[in-house]
Copies of this chain bind each other. A is one copy, B any other.
């Protein structure tokens, strides 16, 4: 990839600007309704540049999902709840953190890969798989803390850390759908309140006994 020039300081960023535009526009309009021209206009690049970087619109979709995975991984890896000493507190800290970042414009906090998976699961295998890797990969990052909390506290229910980790993602995705349908971010936050209550019950703790 080439560096910026005196004349065009943006040169070399076209691919990333396209991915950023996709992240924003697809979350607002959906993948199918987002046109290549939309993306080019938003990213301020030409169609030639688009198809230089991406073989097809579908390939852009896959790349956007992977770009999303990268960015969100880094974002959550740097989040403060990891600093908590108690694994259960980290799990509940994750849920609280997810709730805290739900505010403002729907397209700004909802999930790109959830939106895309819902839309193209049957028509584009590549995109669906990339979305699946993103969601389930993220879920996996929660498993260790859940399992540690479980062992540490001697919890023996008929559920697994993997299953609960996935469930957190189901509730997030479902909360986003309801927030969109009701045009109200509070609906997504409400879902996370129930999730936190569920987790506390699974671990026999209350809001008073644990943050």
Residues of A bordering B, CB below 8 Å: 28-33, 106-107, 113-115, 117-123, 128, 131-132, 135-136, 157, 159, 163-164, 166-167, 169-178, 180-183, 187, 190-191, 193-194, 197-198, 201-202
Contact = CB atoms under 8 A, between A and B. Distances in A.
A152 to B, nearest CB: 20
Contacts of A157: 197
Contact of A128 (B30, B164, B181): B181
Contacts of A187: 166, 170
B115 A118 contact: yes
A107 B122 CA distance: 9
7 contacts: A28-B123, A29-B122, A118-B119, A118-B180, A132-B181, A167-B190, A173-B174
A167 B191 contact: yes
A69 to B, nearest CB: 12
Contacts of A115: 118-119
A128 B171 CA distance: 20
A178 B177 CA distance: 12
Contacts of A194: 159, 163-164, 167, 170, 198
Contact of A174 (B171, B181, B183, B198): B171
B183 A128 contact: yes
Of the listed residues A30, A163, A167, A181, the one surrounded by the most CB atoms of chain B closer than 10 A to its CB is A181
A107 to B, nearest CB: 7
B166 A122 contact: no
Contacts of A32: 30, 32-33, 119
Contacts of A172: 174
A136 B115 CA distance: 20
A175 B93 CA distance: 23
The 8 nearest A-B residue pairs measured at CB: A174-B174, A170-B174, A32-B32, A121-B180, A117-B181, A173-B177, A173-B174, A32-B33
A122 B137 CA distance: 28
